Chains A and B, each alone.
Chain A
Amino acid sequence: MLNRKIRTAAALAGVTVLTAALTACGGDDDSGGGGGAGKTLNVLIGANTQFPEQFAAWQKSISDKFKAATGATVKFETFASANDELTKIQTSVVSGSGPDVYAVGTTFTPTAYSTGAFVKMGDDEWKKIGGKEKFNPATLGISGPDDNNQVGIPWVSRPFVMAYNTELLKAAGIAKPATTWDELTQQAKQLTKGDQYGLAIAYKDNFDPWKFAWGMSVQAGNPLVDGKTAKLQDPAVQKAFSTYFGWLATDKVVDPAAVGWTNPQALAAFAKGKTGYFLLTTTTATNSLEQGAVKGKWAFALLPTVPPGATSRPANGVEAASILSGDNLLVADYSKNKDLAFEYVKLVTDPEVQLDYYQKFGNLPANASALQSLASDQRLAPVTEAAQKSVATPFTGAWGDIQLALTNVAVQTLPDLTKGPISTAQIDTRLAAAQKSAQSALDRAK
């Protein structure tokens, strides 16, 4: 009997050691309070596989600067993709714990706002980070539903533009890139011959398709959401999708393989130098383009701002050159280190840091003076212009679902796209389904 007790004790001791070992491995330090020294600020930020070394170096330098300024350490957590990011946000919302600062894609800001888990920026808060006026005004467009309820602090912009092959355009006798969608289609036809295509488009991308649909619709005067009503079943949206699908199926100005392309693949195709235009790209692609056959033979241009089927924008149309794209910083409501969090936000939105970040990774500054200092760069001119002409997508918690519904229109249409032109009836059916799910998302929105 005694023997048995000893064994039990030994077994228990074994378990305890095991647990202790695992706990030790866990490595989590939760330090709260105020003051700085000895504290850790957790920051969630998108992973960068394109420049991993530079990214690590940047994190290190920010961490050092932050330590010098406040005495506290910054610990970076990375998310892989937009989906991953969303999961991370939910995780933190449920648990009331997690990163103190989030770098969140602009289109996810409404969703994040709807959870009510982030600090609303009042005058005090804006003051702490150096004032609202230091930002490019356009970038504040998706910080909150209105000026008094803002959670997102602009960090970087990635306005969408198109890239074009200067040599191919010249050879086809095209003097300057298109400014209306119809003109673009026309030029694309001129550019398509042999193994050369007019446009590179990422049809299978999980985010690109809805950006086209939204952009063209807004230019035609339909912002897709009107208060609590979804307006997806609308001639403007239908025209947008038929133009978008038509490039491949009717006009045949896109490589048929594009049906399976995501954005990186479309970029790779354009980089080979056999495509006239690559629609929907941004400054972060610069490095990739310079590595390809297209090196030195490309330039950015503003995406067309006149809706398809028109020669000038209708009166209620908006000159939306791009969705308001980039990252916002959000400070978590549960954070025990809010002051430190604002210190961090202040640090990374300062002009030097912003410019350094642009130089390393190609993300445009949200800081107005930093952006201004880039204006002299000829190549960037169209991008900075797009940054100013970016328009925010509707600010509703339902936007994520609406976006998903629009993407789904493309996802479900792709199979038919290989067979030939898409009829308006087909588009209408898909739009009806999208409208239904968008409307039900809006109905639930609070």
Chain B
Amino acid sequence: MSASAEAQRLLPRPLLVVLTALLCAIVLVPVLYIVLASLNSDVGVASGEFWPSSFSLHSYSRIWTTADLSNGILNSLIVCGVTAVASALLGTTTAYVLVRYSFRGRLTILRGLVGLQSIPGTLMLLPVFVLFSSAGNYLGLTVVGTRWGLFVAYLTFALPFSTWVMVTYLRGLPRELEEAARTEGASTLVILRRIIFPLSLPAIVVSGIFAFLLGWNDVLFATVLTRPETHTAAVALSIFGSAQEGGALPVYSQMMAASLVCAAPVVILYLIFQRYLVGGLTAGGVK
């Protein structure tokens, strides 16, 4: 180990090892339990087994018929994916204007961006719903139950966040290139496309991922704004979890398998982009 690495170490080695092991255990033990339980039988899990008496992939094959997972995951991927792309792009342009130009109300908008992220979802649900359904009555648009409606709803949560991430990023971006381009007559859109987007790609990726996750994690809005064809993964899982009244036995193993399947896409996404997230979070600072 080099001298500088040694100097970087903040904790004595034994403490470091113990802490790392402890924290990993805290995280991994429940995770291990989920994996084991998903490989167990429903009855085995119900009787409190940690190590399955018999391993099987039965639960993984069952859940595709007992829960509407494939449809749910597809819907989630579509809605959240489109939300991610749209909010990252819109967020970048909005942030660009907010950072580079001064105008009246700019500070209010900046504050609003943060404020909007803290509105409780339970407060917004009913009014959003009433508005969406009234759109059906008065404008002849079907919003409730479409992926489109859900997309718009998620965009509202994702956009302030994405914009905020981009504001913090763009603020630190040097202006020389833009100004050089501008003196050569490039329009704002050209500058955005040729300079800002390529330069801030890492931040755009981060804001897109967070937008994706906001949508993926939502249960509240998705339950009310979707219909069976447009159910998201979260809704499919919660339906599966609660639809056990009336003479059914608990299906814990399948629950765990379904949970893992629902979590898999986001976990993969996180792990791939892990290196970007640390800074991205500090910039936006919201889960």
Contacts and interface: CB of A to CB of B under 8 A. Distances in A.
Q: Do chains A and B touch in the complex (CB under 8 A)?
A: yes
Interface of A: 1, 3-4, 7-8, 11, 18-19, 22-23, 25-28, 30, 46-50, 52-53, 76-84, 87, 91, 94-97, 158, 207, 262-265, 267-268, 271, 281-288, 291-292, 362
Nearest to B239: A80
Given A7-B189, A19-B148, A28-B142, A80 B243 contact: yes
B246 A26 contact: no
Contacts of B66: 49, 52
Nearest to B254: A49
Nearest to B192: A7
Nearest to A46: B243
Contacts of B57: none
B147 A26 contact: yes
Interface stretch (B197-205, B209-217, B220-228, B261-269): B220-228
Contacts of B166: none
A268 B46 contact: yes
Contact of B245 (A18, A78, A81, A91): A81
Contact of B82 (A18, A49, A207, A285): A18
Contact of B142 (A26, A46, A77, A158): A26
B270 to A, nearest CB: 26
A337 to B, nearest CB: 16
Residues of B in contact with A, size category: 35 or more
B285 interface: no
A141 to B, nearest CB: 20
A95 B144 contact: yes
B248 interface: yes
A264 B250 contact: yes
Interface in B136-156: 136-137, 142, 144-149, 151
A80 B242 contact: yes
Contacts of B129: 91, 94
Contact of A267 (B67, B86, B145, B249): B249
Contacts of A96: 133, 137
A284 B133 contact: no
A265 B46 CA distance: 8
B78 interface: yes
Contacts of B130: 94
Nearest to A205: B245
Given A4-B189, A18-B86, A84-B239, A28 B145 contact: yes
Contact of A11 (B86, B144, B189, B245): B189
Given A19-B148, A77-B228, A91-B144, A268 B249 contact: yes
Contacts of A281: 247
A264 B244 contact: yes
Given A4-B187, A11-B189, A48 B146 contact: no
Interface of B: 43, 46, 65-67, 78, 82, 86, 129-130, 132-134, 136-137, 142, 144-149, 151, 187-190, 193, 223-224, 227-230, 238-251
A291 B66 CA distance: 18
Contacts of A87: 223-224
A27 B230 contact: yes
Contact of B133 (A95, A262, A265): A95
Nearest to A11: B189
A192 to B, nearest CB: 21
Contacts of A97: 133, 136-137, 144
A267 to B, nearest CB: 6
Given A49-B66, A97-B133, A268-B46, A284 B247 contact: yes
Nearest to B225: A91
A22 B154 CA distance: 14
Given A22-B151, A82-B245, A264-B250, A49 B189 contact: no
B148 A207 contact: no
A8 B189 CA distance: 8
A288 to B, nearest CB: 5
Given A80-B238, A81-B243, A83-B242, 20 more contacts: A3-B187, A7-B189, A7-B190, A26-B142, A28-B146, A30-B142, A46-B243, A48-B243, A49-B243, A80-B239, A80-B243, A81-B239, A81-B245, A91-B224, A97-B136, A158-B246, A281-B247, A285-B246, A286-B247, A292-B249
